[in-house]
Structure 1
Amino acid sequence: MAISSETFRELFASFASTVTIVTAYADDAPSGATVTACSSVSAQPPLIMVALGRESRTLSQILRAGRFGVNVLADHQEAVARLFSQSTVNKFSRLDWILDGDVPCLPDSCGFVAARLSSELTVGDHVLIVGSIEKVSCTSQTPLLYHRRQFARCEQIGVKANASVA
């Protein structure tokens, strides 16, 4: 039974996802894209996976640099998510950023991972990038979410922010 693209999109829109900015630095230029397809892969060794469109400029930069960053946006950074979802603007000129582990880091984010490219796999219209995690930093800020095709805060979808698991 074939699944329509609309049904497929509707299903995955119902999943609340953390919003990240995946970054790279190659040829003396930063690059970044808003990504919700990001996941831990393994704790031993520590690995992270992101999915980027095959035509993504950020993907090209990652492949050239062999490294990438994942900035987990805080719930007050919706404007940053929107900025990095555009492909035609000079994104990094519009906000503060630093090079951390040779990849662009957005200091106001609630989490940051620097990774070395470990493997890549082309799947459909995307490329899965797996990285060996070399550096991690995090804060107690609440992450920005994407749910039902819109940005959301945890409390908007019934999740208690910073709740501990018993």
Structure 2
Amino acid sequence: MTSPATQDFTAEFRDVMASVCTPVTVVTALDGARPHGTTVSAFASLSVSPPMVLVALDRGSDLLAAVREYGRFGINVLGRGHSDLALTFARKGTDKFDGIGWTLSEGVPRIDGVPGWVACSVAELVDGGDHVVVLGHVEHADRTDQPPLTYHRRTFGTHSAGQE
């Protein structure tokens, strides 16, 4: 059983992390012919040479199982106006792609209309508590000029350069 001090620390830790503005992405992979995807805010650039990124996926997720099996994943970087898309992919279930436009690009599902896209092959899987950190070699990247969707204080928003 968790001690009261640990429970208080966990709540405080969550509050501190909620105050950090994070990007919102939908990480995707194929399981056979069926697309999988989940909303992820634990995403970051890792290296420019070679180009690498990292994402953290829940240890028990179907998406992680597909990434492990097929060794490929896509990162759909969401933009302004995509909060409904983020909520759709944040829920549980196998029907998240119902009614969502997507194409197979570089071997992984690419959601139509997202402003940023990165296709990766798995470089390494690293244990990280209740998540697994997936290190990916970037094999393809595209972007458009659209403000990103961000998550801050448990609310979706956007960021515009030059605003303080």
Give the TM-score of the pair, scaled to structure 2. Answer: 0.92
Asked if structure 1 preserves the Cα contact closer than 8 Å seen for 2:78 and 2:114, the reply is yes
Which residues in structure 2 correspond to 1:1-166 (within 5 Å)? Answer: 4-154=9-159, 161-163=160-162
Name the amino acid aligned to 1:97.
Answer: W
Q: Which runs of 5+ in 2 are unaligned?
A: none
- How many equivalent residue pairs? 157
Q: Structure 2 counterpart of 1:49, which letter?
A: L
Q: Stretches of 4+ moved more than 6 A in 1?
A: none
Whole-Å separation in 2 of the counterparts to 1:117 and 1:26: 15
Q: What is the deviation of 1:26?
A: 2.3
Residue 152 (structure 1) shift: 1.2
TM-score by length of structure 1 reads 0.90
1:157 aligns to what? none
Percent identical residues: 36
Please give the alpha-carbon distance, in whole angstroms, between the structure 2 residues aligned to 1:87 and 1:137: 28
Name the CA shift for 1:150/1:89 in 2 (closer, same or farther; >3 Å).
Answer: farther
CA drift at 1:28: 1.4
Name the CA distance, whole Å, in 1 between partners of 2:70 and 2:80. 29
Instruction: Tell me the distance in 2 between the aligned counterparts of 1:60 and 1:31.
Output: 10
Higher mean displacement: 84-93 or 106-115 = 84-93
Asked whether the equivalents of residues 55 and 133 of structure 2 are also in contact (C-alpha less than 8 Å), the reply is yes
